[in-house]
Structure 1
Amino acid sequence: MAIRKRSRHSVPPATTIRRKKRRRKMKRHIVMIGMMGAGKTAIGSELARRLHVPFTDSDAEIESAAAMSISEIFARDGEAFFRDRETQVLSRILKGPPGVVSTGGGAWMQAGNRELIRAHGLSVWLNCDLETLWHRVRQRSTRPLLKTADPKGTLARLLEQRAPVYAGADVTFEARADDSIEAAATRLIDQLRGIVPEFPEAK
């Protein structure tokens, strides 16, 4: 019986093999936590782009599911209702393929959410100082928790209350006011590579 020669086209290109290996290495979600204005969405989306994995913003997913903005949900149904929906959406996201996930500022404050994130991902706290946070959020009217007589004071109190809980994240990343999104993503990738042996390659 004649033996057929193996076609050279049957061997995947080296770049394809490398990409498949890279995707296999991403075994857990990277979950961005921290205050509003810390840069979770901006840095998270850049990180996902470089790692060739999906990026998901949990707040955006909640708004899509409810066909309402976060502010509208708070106004109509209250914060407790929102937190329940947040947990449901977060659970669905974390059961999907590994990627980068940006969470709302209060998500990590819920014990159930912390358990979900620890079970399915690596939590990264974007630690950002008050003045930088205030500079980024003061012109936005979409932050329901800051609709008070003293929004900066409210932001300061939230940061004081939340920082000790955020500190329980797997990784603390110091978010700098003068960093570009690209520079911050590069620093975060370098930090994660030093912590997680199987951390995938990034371009």
Structure 2
Amino acid sequence: MNQSLPAAPDLQTADSAGAAEAASTAPVFLVGMMGAGKTTIGRHLARMLNRQFIDLDHELEARCGVRVALIFDIEGEEGFRRRETALLDECSRRQGIILATGGGAVLAEENRRMLSERGLVLYLRATAEELFRRVARDRSRPLLQTPDPQARIRALLDQREPLYESIARLTVDTGSAHVMQLARDLLPRLRHYEQQEKPQ
């Protein structure tokens, strides 16, 4: 397929009243498998903490003007990963954000280094069975376009979980709990981290 993707527009800036205050706090990076709840929980956390929320995949789609699945079709996974790393480098430098990464962002050592050095990494953990239940009908996941998506999820989880765990400062089992309750439960842990990170 001979098609090129457009140049990327700038990131949107936060326009909430608390943006200036949020800018003084360390970023929070959400990692985990597809279907783990990174985007949903991240949005709730951002509202509760008065922070800007960025979903890395959605931001990449906005910049390219096409869906992630089409980026895979045009440039392959290698091309997608290059774009992902470049955007992660930019976004992870922003203070006061909640950033949901793509499920495979941890595959590159460079990405893991950026995440672990620049903010708090929060791993949202779920079982392969739970993940499959959540994404089984989602046709926008290029890595799941296989005859046995459940086996594919299990293989991806086996590969990626040690990488998530290697950089996570906090790990939360998402399970079947309501996302709002999970976000509320996370608040005191995140605030405790923020207090620890403040200069003395």
State TM-score, norm by structure 1.
0.82
- Name the CA distance, whole Å, in 2 between partners of 1:57 and 1:103: 6
Q: Taking every aligned residue pair, what percent have the same amino acid on both sides?
A: 34
Where do residues 34-49 of structure 1 align in structure 2 (5 Å cutoff)?
34-49=32-47
- Name the CA distance, whole Å, in 2 between partners of 1:107 and 1:129: 19
Q: Give 1:194 deviation, angstroms.
A: 4.4
Q: Runs (4+) of structure 1 moved beyond 4 Å?
A: none
Q: Give 1:25 deviation, angstroms.
A: 8.5
- Name the CA distance, whole Å, in 2 between partners of 1:184 and 1:70: 27
Q: Give 1:176 deviation, angstroms.
A: 2.2
Quote the residue 1:175 is aligned against: 174
Contact in 2 for aligned 1:193/1:199 (Cα 8 Å) = no
Contact in 1 for aligned 2:28/2:97 (Cα 8 Å) = yes
1:61 is aligned with what amino acid?
A: E
Where do residues 89-168 of structure 1 align in structure 2 (5 Å cutoff)?
89-168=87-166
Where do residues 180-195 of structure 1 align in structure 2 (5 Å cutoff)?
180-195=178-193
Find the structure with the greater CA-based Rg: 1
Quote the residue 2:21 is aligned against: 23
Contact in 2 for aligned 1:25/1:198 (Cα 8 Å) = no
Contact in 1 for aligned 2:27/2:94 (Cα 8 Å) = no
Q: Deviations over 1:26-81 (max 9, x none)?
A: 52110000000000000001000000010000000111111111000101110010
Q: Give 1:115 deviation, angstroms.
A: 1.2
Q: Give 1:181 deviation, angstroms.
A: 1.6
Contact in 2 for aligned 1:38/1:133 (Cα 8 Å) = yes
Q: Deviations over 1:83-138 (max 9, x none)?
A: 00001111111222321000000001211111111222110000111121111100
Cα 1:115–1:123, aligned 2, differ >3 Å: closer, same or farther?
A: same
Quote the residue 1:8 is aligned against: none
Aligned length: 180
2:78 is aligned with what amino acid?
A: A
Quote the residue 1:59 is aligned against: 57
State TM-score, norm by structure 2.
0.83
- Name the CA distance, whole Å, in 2 between partners of 1:50 and 1:43: 11
5+ residue gaps in structure 2? 1-16
3-state DSSP class of the match of 2:138? coil
- Name the CA distance, whole Å, in 2 between partners of 1:110 and 1:164: 13
Instruction: Say what the alpha-carbon RMSD is for the aligned residues.
Output: 2.0
